[in-house]
Structure 1
């Protein structure tokens, strides 16, 4: 089986992590609205990338396009929680023995208004029943410095995603999530 990476929604803040994944892969499939104009700026690296310029608006078409490139040994994703069909189908695109890493915002760990489980917990529980793939989350927090808070930089976000590629944990928090009231506004 070919060592393929799926890089979904990774051309912005996760570009350094996407580069790391693409360097390890024989082929990388990059999916974003502007994938056709994305470049790592490295001719050899760009040559092993397939660009799929899709948004989440047409999840069935996106999934059909992804299925034609699957299975993936690594999937690194940043997708909004509302893309439920896409999120639920990701595990089927990962090869046995592969890894699915989902990057999620800080609100992904919050329970629903009526005590419903968080999206991060729902995903972790669902993927726990997929013993053939490794599942890891990166939850994005914030940084407290000198009595003030700031959001993570692109470098800090990518560093957490790369750490998950190198040594996956069930959940890795990038920055901190506490105190919740101290997060930047």
Structure 2
């Protein structure tokens, strides 16, 4: 099952995947296969180069998102060149507010159209608390994809890279407000 872009009202089909050259590389490639132009932010030029060699729809953005000025400039250039983002996938461990503020601000400069944000979160994340801090984002349909763990033979383990990437893809396909990859129960068995 693919993304029903008409249901979302998407016409430009531009996606941004932050950290999309590592664990989320398969997610980036899947979005490209779905017809998106995919701007991928990464800090590893080798991984970005490898990814762009796998799809002509991948646009590499080599930038450290902790460098606020440079990050803002790269987001602006990406939107100017390829249009506003219809879909953003972000898995960032720190500095969330500054990064999303930059993305949202740059989108608002060129359109008032809505966009989708899929926020990848760890097993310890308080989803309601995080969601309440995202209410300020204008024209954004906010989604949370929480990464849990796997129970096998009464033992637990963390998700593999493939399970994470495939789980994120399934979360995007579901278009759910909350999507869990793996399980969070029993919490006492968490690895």
> Normalised by the size of structure 1, how large is the TM-score?
0.80
Q: Distance in 1 between matches of 2:116 and 2:139?
A: 9
Structure in which a larger fraction of residues adopt strand: 1
Once the 2 structures are TM-superposed, how far is the Cα of residue 137 of structure 1 from its aligned partner? 1.0
Aligned 1:102-117 pairs, distance under 5 A: 102-109=119-126
Residue 24 of structure 1 corresponds to which residue in structure 2?
Answer: 34
Residue 77 of structure 1 corresponds to which residue in structure 2?
Answer: 90
3-state secondary structure, aligned to 1:10: coil
Correspondent of 1:5 among 11, 15, 40: 15
Residue 40 of structure 1 corresponds to which residue in structure 2?
Answer: 51
Correspondent of 1:15 among 18, 25, 31: 25
Correspondent of 1:153 among 149, 160, 179: 160
Q: 1:106 to 1:36 in 2, by over 3 A?
A: same
Aligned 1:33-182 pairs, distance under 5 A: 33-35=43-45, 37-38=47-48, 39-40=50-51, 45=55, 47-70=56-79, 71-93=84-106, 96-109=113-126, 120-130=127-137, 132-182=139-189
Cα-Cα RMSD? 2.4
1:138-157, CA deviations, whole angstroms, 9 ceiling, x for partnerless residues?
A: 11110111011000112221
Q: Distance in 1 between matches of 2:30 and 2:174?
A: 14
> Normalised by the size of structure 2, how large is the TM-score?
0.77
Residue 115 of structure 1 corresponds to which residue in structure 2?
Answer: none
Q: Distance in 1 between matches of 2:31 and 2:15?
A: 7
Q: Quick check: 2:63–2:74 contact (8 Å CA) kept in 1?
A: no
Q: Quick check: 1:59–1:83 contact (8 Å CA) kept in 2?
A: no
Q: Distance in 1 between matches of 2:27 and 2:117?
A: 14
Q: Quick check: 1:29–1:49 contact (8 Å CA) kept in 2?
A: yes
Unaligned runs of 5+ in 2: 1-10
**Aligned length, in residue pairs:** 172
